[in-house]
Chains A and B, each alone.
Chain A
Amino acid sequence: MSELVEIRWHGRGGQGSKTASLLLGKVASDLGLNVQAFPEYGPERMGAPVLAFNRISEGKMTLHCQIENPQIVVVLDATLLEVVDVTENMTPGGKVLVNTSRNPQKVREELGLEPGQVFTVDANKISQEEIGSVFPNTPMLGALVKVGKVLPLDDFREMIRDEFASKFSNKPEIVEGNLNSVDRAIQEVQGE
C-alpha cells in the first residue's frame, strides 16, 4: 500500500466510532504506516449522528483537513442509512461496510451501488454474544481490515490484542470478548 487510504466512519454518539478510528490509527502506526485518526466534534449527544476519520499511508501525510472523498465508508448503525447520505462524495468504486443483519445485496440496491462495493456484518449480534453488550465498533474494525485490505490481517490481529489490553486495562475481562468479536466479524462479514 503506497497510496493514501481515507476512511469515513458513520455512527451514533456512544457507539464508539471515535474509539474505532483511534484504535485503527494506533495499530497502523505500530505496523510502521503513517496515520491520522480524528473525530468530527459537533454537539456531542448520545444517539446523534457522528463522524470519525482515518488516513493511512506509507508516504508522509501533511493534510490537516476533513476527508472530502473517502475510499471506504463504515456505518456502525444501519438506521443512519435512512437519515444520512453515507455514500456522499465517496470515490468511484469505493466500498461501504454496514453493521446490519441484512444481506449485502439488499443494502447495495438501496444505496444504488455496483456489486462488490457493499459488505455487511451483524456486529450488534456478535458483540452482544461475545462481550455481553452491544458494542459494534470493535467487530466492525475487524470487518473493515478484512474487506478494506488496509492492513495485513494477521499483523492486525496480533497488534489489536495489545491495544485492547491497554485500552481496557481497568476492565481486563472484556479483552477476550473484544478479540473474539474481531475474529468473528472477520469470518462473518459478507460481500457478494
Chain B
Amino acid sequence: MSKRVALTGNEAIAKAMQQINPDVVAAYPITPQTEIVQIFSKYVADGEVDTEFVTVESEHSAMSAVVGSAAGGARSMTATSANGLALMWEIVYIAASTRLPIVMPVVNRALSAPINIHCDHSDAMGARDSGWIQLFSENAQEAYDNAIQAVRIGEHKDVLLPVMVNLDGFIISHAVENFNINEPEKVQEFIGEYKPEHTLLDKENPITVGPLDLQDYYFEHKRQQSEAMKYALQAVKDVGQEYGRLTGREYGYFSEYRVDDAEIVLIGMGSTMGTARAAVDELREQGVKVGLIKIRMFRPFPGEELARALAHVPVIGVLDRAESFSNNGGPLFTDMHVALYGQEHKLYDFIYGLGGRDTNVSHLKGIFSMLQKAKDGEALDRVNYIGVRE
C-alpha cells in the first residue's frame, strides 16, 4: 500500500533518497536545494539510512567525491541547484564520460547575474550536452517517482550513465502538495542491489578509471557514450513501465494531453505544464481544439517519438524556461526544430518565467491565442517573450 502524504518537493526528494538508501551521498547546500541535503543528513544522523554522508567544501568537490565513490562501486547521489551545478561543471562531464550511474536531483534555479534564487531551467540547460540523462518533473509526485526510477535507469548495464532529476525551484521545491509515497520495501525491491560489473575496488579484476585517452581511443569512447544514450531510450521506457506496474503510475518519454484532435499544441517541461493543462481545459470548453505535450525526458531527446505524436498538428508552440542567447530560440525550440525538420508544421517559441517570473493561466491562454492567430494566417515572431516588460 502506498501512503498519502503532504510534503514539499524538497521533502519528497529527501524521502526518495531515504528509501533508496544510497551507499554514499556527498553534498553542499545551495538554495533552493539546501533542504534536501539538510533533511537527508538528519536521516543519516538518526540512523535511518546506512549512507556514508560526506560534507564537502563546494559543489565541485561534491561531484568529485561521488565520482570517486561511484567508481569504487558505491551507489552514489548528490543534489544541487543553479550556480552549484555551474561550479560542478567540469566534473559533471567527467561523471558521464566515466560512465558512472550517479543520481543527482537538480532544483532548477536561474543562474547569476543578476543574483536570483528563483526558478528557471538555465542551470539544467547548461548541462544539456554533458552526457547526463535529464528527467524533468511537473510536481512533487513526479520528482519523487523520477528519483527512484533514475537509480534503475542509470545503473542499467547497457546504459551506465548519470541521471539528473529536475524539479522547479520554490514552485515545487518549497510548496506543499499531497502525493503518494511507496512502501520502503517496495522501493528497495524495485531498485535492487547494485552490483557493478567493474569497480576500482575489485582487486581480482583491476581496472583503470579516467586515464589519458588521446587521438588513439578518445573518439571511440565518445562514440560508445552516444550509443549508451540510445540504450537509455529503452531503459527509460522499460523502467517507467515496470514502475507503473508497481505503483499504478507509469512513465514514458513525455505525456500527451488532449492531443488526438488538437490543431494547436503547446510543448514544454516542468511545473508550468500543470498550469497549461488548466488553460487547455478552459479553451476546450469554449470549443478551441488545443492540446499539450509535457516532456519528461529531455536527454536523450525523444525527437522521433515527438514527431510522430505531433504529425497531425498544424501549429505548435514551444515553452522554453531558458534563453540560449543564440538569437535562434531557446534550447527546447532548437531540439523541436530538428525533430520536426522537413515537416509542414508552423513552430513558434515562447520564452517564459525566467528568474521565477510567475506564469499563470492567463499568460498561457494568451499564448494559445497568439498561436490561433498564426494558424489563421497572421504574422507571429518565431521567438516570443511572455510576461516580460519591454
Contact = CB atoms under 8 A, between A and B. Distances in A.
Interface of A: 22, 25-26, 28-30, 33-39, 41, 62-66, 68
Given A29-B4, A62-B278, A64-B272, A38 B175 contact: yes
A35 B117 CA distance: 25
Chain A contact residues: over half helix, strand or loop, or mixed? Answer: mixed
Query: Which 3 pairs between the two chains have the least Cβ-Cβ distance?
Result: A29-B6, A62-B274, A38-B175
Nearest to A53: B175
A36 B179 CA distance: 11
B170 interface: yes
Contact of B176 (A35, A63, A66): A35
How many of chain B's residues touch chain A, expressed as a range?
20 to 34
Contact of A64 (B5, B171, B362): B171
Contacts of A37: 6, 175-176
B175 A66 contact: no
B335 interface: no
A34 B140 CA distance: 13
A64 B4 contact: no
Interface string B1-44: 00011100000000000000000000000000000000000000
A34 B172 CA distance: 15
Nearest to B168: A64
Given A25-B6, A30-B6, A41-B170, A64 B274 contact: yes
B359 interface: yes
Contacts of A34: 178
B358 interface: yes
Interface in B120-174: 138-139, 168, 170-172, 174
A182 to B, nearest CB: 19
A35 B178 contact: yes
B178 A64 contact: no
A25 B140 CA distance: 14
B360 A36 contact: no
A41 B10 CA distance: 15
Contacts of A41: 117-118, 170, 174
A38 B172 CA distance: 9
Contacts of A62: 138-139, 274-275, 277-278
Contacts of B6: 25-26, 28-30, 35, 37
Given A34-B178, A35-B176, A37-B176, A65 B277 contact: no
Contacts of A36: 175-177
A137 to B, nearest CB: 15
A38 B175 CA distance: 4
Contacts of B117: 41
B139 A39 contact: no
Nearest to B6: A29
B283 interface: no
B290 to A, nearest CB: 15
Given A29-B6, A38-B171, A41-B118, 7 more contacts: A22-B176, A34-B178, A36-B175, A64-B274, A65-B275, A65-B361, A68-B362
